[in-house]
Amino acid sequence: MTSSSTPSPAPSDAHATRSPLRRLSARGRDEAHRVASPLELFFDLCFVVAIAQAGVQLVHSIAEGHAGEGILNYAMVFFAIWWAWMNFSWFASAYDNDDVLYRVVTLIQIAGVLVLAAGVSRAFEDHDFLAVWLGYVIMRLALSAQWIRVALSTEGAERTMALRYALGVLLCMVGWTGLVVLPEGARPWVFLVMAVIEMCVPAYAEKDFNSSWHPHHIAERYGLFTIIVLGETIAAATIAVKSAVEENDALGELLPIATGGLLIVFAAWWIYFVVPIHGRLHSNKQAFLWGYGHYLIFASAAAIGAGLEVAVEQSVGKAHISTLAASAAVTLPTALYLLTVWALHSRYFKVGTAQQLVLPVTALLVIACTFLGDWAVLAAGVVSALAVATGTTLTARMVARESREAAPTPVG
């Protein structure tokens, strides 16, 4: 995942031939017109099923007054979903040969996330992580098999890298069994230790040879997944509003929440995609930090949808928590999203103190909106929209000033 060394060259017709079984050798890092494949899009959609289940359970936990426990379970389950998705995405960027075996193994990974999704409710309600663990094992065994294929198709340092990945993934699976065999009180510590070890595997595997991930392809994959997660947020909030209107006839109470939530999601999309991050990834030595940091972006984006559901339920009396707690369920993940996008994306493209401060200040103002009672969500949405307007205005003024400075001076 770091800036790549030159991979062993793949045969020029490796992706033109339609042979059902081909060598799993590296694709070119500078390959032209590299875009997400239909299989990758299908993969993402299936993963969002698990994200939706995690969001539903987070809503239930917060609405029942168990926010701390719910957030912890959400963080653990979301890590399993995100880490499996991310590992596949970077692997596919470097080694997707689209043969029959590659497709079958990828479909097995999809089956694994569906098993994981089926176990999310038991993980939250009964602290039973067996199905979540089993789904994760299926996904990780499939990825390990892909790395073994790479090892069989390559040689030298690249083969060593592939074997390190395969062995690291398998060894981590042994550690994750602690979630199902150790006492409940030990599970958060198992998660913390194993999450750190998991994230060290790519750094260790690629210390002598870097996989040939494609910058534009990776940026597109992350962007598409962000869109899908934000879409799930809108869907979850829409269903919550629809149910509340049908059951309680409370459109007046829900309109500020619906409007504010829509503004937040629109602003979240705009802020993420306003900068061309793939250009920076092409030479960025901190690709690990960029890729790993998206855990917070994806998790907070999905949590915004859960927070909007909580706010809707609280407004119609279905959630027995305070207005302050319901408002915080929206404003805190929104602020986290804004700060993380700024840290990973926006700050590299902002010029001057004013542009740099837009998103951090917006995050603080969104948190302050928490204390505005029934108008908190709407206020947070308006603040987010104003951040977009402010950023766009500052950028336009900078471009206009640069154009004037670059214009030739009239003679005579």
Q: Give Cα separations from 49 to 113, 117, 231 (angstroms).
A: 8, 7, 12
Half-sphere exposure of 235 (CA within 13 A, CB side): 14
Using alpha carbons only, what angle is made at residue 114 by residues 111 and 119, rounded to the nearest 5 degrees? 130
For 326-374, the pLDDT digits (tens) are: 999 999 999 999 999 998 887 777 767 777 888 999 999 999 999 999 8
* Mean pLDDT, rounded, for 97-118: 93
Q: What is the pLDDT of residue 326?
A: 92
Q: What is the pLDDT of residue 114?
A: 94
Q: What is the pLDDT of residue 352?
A: 72
Q: What is the pLDDT of residue 386?
A: 93
The answer to which of 42-56, 131-145, 171-185, 390-404 has the lowest mean pLDDT is 390-404
| pLDDT at residue 17 greater than cutoff 70 | no
For 70-98, the pLDDT digits (tens) are: 999 999 999 999 999 999 999 999 998 88
Query: Hunting for tokens 């395969």 — which residue is that?
Result: 166
Tell me how far apart the alpha carbons of residues 367 and 223 are, in angstroms, rounded to a whole number: 26
Q: What is the pLDDT of residue 361?
A: 94
Split at pLDDT 50, 70, 90, the class of 102 is very high
* Mean pLDDT, rounded, for 50-68: 90
Are 319 and 326 in contact by the 8 Å Cβ rule? The answer is yes
Split at pLDDT 50, 70, 90, the class of 24 is confident
Split at pLDDT 50, 70, 90, the class of 6 is very low
The answer to which of 86-90, 110-114, 403-407 has the lowest mean pLDDT is 403-407
Tell me how far apart the alpha carbons of residues 11 and 31 are, in angstroms, rounded to a whole number: 13
| pLDDT at residue 4 greater than cutoff 50 | no
pLDDT: is 242 or 200 the higher one?
A: 200
DSSP class of 369: G
Where along the chain do its domains lie?
A: 38-213, 216-405
Q: What is the pLDDT of residue 145?
A: 94
Q: What is the pLDDT of residue 356?
A: 82
pLDDT: is 62 or 275 the higher one?
A: 62
* DSSP-assigned states of every residue in 330-356: HHHHHHHHHHHHHHHTGGGT--HHHHH
Q: Give Cα separations from 359 to 113, 267, 311, 365, 398 (angstroms).
A: 34, 11, 24, 10, 17
Split at pLDDT 50, 70, 90, the class of 253 is confident
Split at pLDDT 50, 70, 90, the class of 279 is low
Are 191 and 179 in contact by the 8 Å Cβ rule? The answer is yes
For 132-175, the pLDDT digits (tens) are: 999 999 999 999 999 999 999 999 999 999 999 999 999 999 99
Q: Tell me how far apart the 2 most distant CA atoms of the chain are, in Å.
A: 86
pLDDT > 70 in the chain, percent? 88
Q: What is the pLDDT of residue 3?
A: 41
| pLDDT at residue 255 greater than cutoff 80 | yes
* Mean pLDDT, rounded, for 5-18: 45
pLDDT averaged over every residue in the chain: 86
**pTM of this structure:** 0.87
| pLDDT at residue 14 greater than cutoff 90 | no
Residue type, 179: L
